[in-house]
């Protein structure tokens, strides 16, 4: 005669929720800035360069303040 096999309940995963993404850089930590050329007038060109996001300081997480 065989006895009924008891199953153990599964544990729930208690992982931390992901932090909210920065609204300015969409969680990437970098944004694109237009390149300025010239001495006084600072003409804008069609070129762009990568820059650090000033809202999240490159972390990609939304500020909590």
pLDDT of residue 9: 81
Q: Can you spell out the DSSP letters for 1-65?
A: -PPPPPPPPPPPP-PPPPPPBPTTTTTSSEEEEEEEESSSS-EEEEEEEEEE-TTTTTS-BPP--
Q: For residue range 11-29, what is the model confidence (pLDDT) as tens digits?
A: 777 778 888 888 888 888 8
Q: Distance between CA 45 and CA 49 in Å, rounded?
A: 11
- pTM for the model stands at 0.52
What digits encode the pLDDT tens for the residues 30-61?
888 888 888 888 888 888 889 898 888 888 88
Return the pLDDT at 29.
86
* Predicted local confidence at residue 1, as pLDDT: 62
């Amino acid at each position: 005669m065989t006895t009924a096999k008891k199953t153990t309940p599964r544990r729930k995963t208690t992982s931390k929720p992901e932090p909210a993404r920065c609204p300015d850089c969409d969680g990437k930590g970098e944004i694109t800035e237009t390149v300025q050329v010239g001495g006084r007038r600072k003409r804008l060109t069609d070129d762009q360069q990568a820059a650090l996001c000033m809202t999240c300081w490159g972390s990609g997480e939304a500020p909590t303040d």
